[in-house]
Amino acid sequence: MDLIDGTFSHKPGPNRLGPCLLGTAILETVQKLNLSLPASNELFRNPTMATVSNFTLSHTLFKRLNEMSHAMGINSWKSDEVCYNCSADPNILRDDDYTDFFHLNPVECNEFLMQRPAFSEHMSYAPAKEVYNAVEHIY
Amino acid sequence: MTVTASTAMAAAWSNTCSSFGSGDQTHLHNQSGDRNHWQVCLSFGNIHSWIGSKTSNLAIVTVALLPVSPKYRLKCHGKLYTVNEHQIHNREVLRKIFEVIFRPLNPYFNADRLILCADGRMRQCYPVICACTADYLESSHLNLIKRPHCPVCEAL
């Protein structure tokens, strides 16, 4: 817990799932499930699931959903708590005084962005040195 | 800062992963109190906008969902002074939250990290945040600037 001059009270919270269910996961769902999206006019006339998805059984859909992995792992979200009430005594703080906030590790986010295949053709890297059979290769 | 020969050699084979942050506060609805949502995102700065703005490329990652400071409606004597005190406190708390969120980047200012790149090769990288975009409201919050002063220059 950080207590700086009694103005800032912060404590790490339990590692639980944030309310953010990763928009990235939704996008990957659309990509992996190969949903056939009809024209908006057709969807407007007959807005049933049959016009949106190729799946006829909900079991098949949920089975494919369970097989999916989230982009950065659902457990990578961390939650911390912070106190906004400046009139509260920093030594005696109740649970109501804390407000949750959720965050990821920015280093992992940077790694995730570096590994995006969409960027591979548009990035310029410094040469990579690798050694195979005592011979140094530069790529 | 002096750069030793070994550091210079290492830097010649290293990549700088220059990402940029962005964030804005979004008003959700009025029915159940004033619900706001404030997310901070991370993306790469040297990518064409037509690649980065395509949602299926997953070019923008949400790093944090910040807490929105509560509003104080005080009906007491010395109201203005108390509200100002709360505003200063809230800004300081927000600054500290950013410090907590981006603390994992601190060791990589001087030391590199092996990262698997999109072409399948491991490279020595320096993950740094080189820029941050925000509108005037967020800039004044983050830089602890009194409105309507300029967050960039010293002009009033």
Query: What is the per-residue DSSP string for A3-35?
Result: EETTTEEEEE------S---HHHHHHHHHHHT-
Nearest to B141 by CA among B109, B75, B93, B108: B93
Q: Which segments of chain A have a pLDDT < 70?
A: 1-55, 67-71, 73, 128-139
d(CA A105, CA A88): 30
- Residue B78 has φ and ψ, to the nearest 5°, of 75, 35
Q: Looking at chain B, which residue has its C-alpha nearest residue A9? A: B93
Give the lowest-confidence range in A24-28, B6-10, B81-85. Answer: B6-10
**B64 close to A (CB below 8 A):** yes
A125 with B117: CB under 8 angstroms? yes
What's the Rg (C-alpha) of chain A? Answer: 24
Please give the average per-residue pLDDT across B95-100, as a whole number. Answer: 88
Q: Looking at chain A, which residue has its C-alpha nearest residue B63? A: A104
For chain A, the domain total comes to: 1
CA distances, A52 to each of A34, A39, A47, B43 (Å): 11, 10, 8, 31
Q: Looking at chain A, which residue has its C-alpha nearest residue B122? A: A128
- C-alpha B107, offset from chain centre: 17
**Nearest CB neighbour to B47, from listed A100, A115, A122:** A122
Give pLDDT, residue A6.
42
**B114 close to A (CB below 8 A):** no
Token output for B10: 């290492």
Nearest to B97 by CA among B148, B39, B145: B39
Give pLDDT, residue A69.
55
Top-confidence residue, B12 or A109: A109
**A17 close to B (CB below 8 A):** no
Residue B50: pLDDT band by 50, 70, 90 thresholds? confident
**A71 close to B (CB below 8 A):** yes
Contact A101 B85 (CB under 8 A): no
pLDDT above 90 coverage of chain B, percent: 3
Contact A103 B119 (CB under 8 A): no
Give pLDDT, residue A22.
43
> Which residues are CB-contacts of B130 (< 8 A; sequence separation ≥ 6)?
B18, B19, B20, B45
**A5 close to B (CB below 8 A):** no
Q: Looking at chain B, which residue has its C-alpha nearest residue A107? A: B105
Contact B93 A120 (CB under 8 A): no
Q: Tell me, what amino acid is at A19?
A: P
Q: Which residue in A21, A76, A113, A123 has the most chain B C-beta atoms within 10 A of its own C-beta, making it the best mutation to test that interface?
A: A113
Give the domain range for residue A117: 2-138
Give pLDDT, residue B81.
62
SS3 content of chain A, % helix, strand, coil (to 5): 35, 20, 45
> In the block, which residue shows the tokens 């953010």?
A20
Contact B61 A113 (CB under 8 A): yes
Contact B92 A20 (CB under 8 A): no
Contact B63 A126 (CB under 8 A): no
What does DSSP assign to residue A113? H
Token output for B95: 């600054």
Top-confidence residue, B130 or B84: B130
Q: Is pLDDT above 70 for B40?
A: yes
Give the minimum alpha-carbon distance from A135 to chain B in angstroms, rounded to a whole number.
17
Interface of A with B in 31-60 (CB under 8 A): 31
Number of A/B CB contacts below 8 angstroms equals 154
Average pLDDT for chain B: 77
H runs (alpha helix) in chain A = 23-33, 40-45, 49-52, 58-67, 106-114
Nearest to A24 by CA among A104, A127, A138: A104
d(CA A74, CA B100): 20
